[in-house]
Amino acid sequence: MRRYITDPSHVIEADDIQVRDNLTVETIPLRIERREVKKLRNKEIASVKVVWGGPAGEN
């Protein structure tokens, strides 16, 4: 493998995202993908897989 040579044209600009002071971003859930309950010896643990959308203000 060759060593990477830095080139400013390789930099990809990210879209502007509004971030709050406490570094959180609101997102909206699109749909619930899967629900399951895992059974251990003494207890059951419920889990939900959620598909999240982009930031809340984004169209």
Each domain of the chain, given as residue ranges in start order, spans: 24-59
Q: What is the per-residue pLDDT for 37?
A: 96
Instruction: Give me the average pLDDT of each 10-residue run along the chain (59 residues).
Output: 82 71 82 95 95 70
State how far the Cα of 55 lies from the Cα of 51, in Å rounded to an integer: 13
Q: What is the per-residue pLDDT for 56?
A: 63
pTM for this model (two decimals): 0.45
State how far the Cα of 53 lies from the Cα of 19, in Å rounded to an integer: 16
Identify whether the C-beta of residue 29 lies closer than 8 Å to the C-beta of residue 49: no
State how far the Cα of 10 lies from the Cα of 6, in Å rounded to an integer: 8
State how far the Cα of 11 lies from the Cα of 4, in Å rounded to an integer: 13
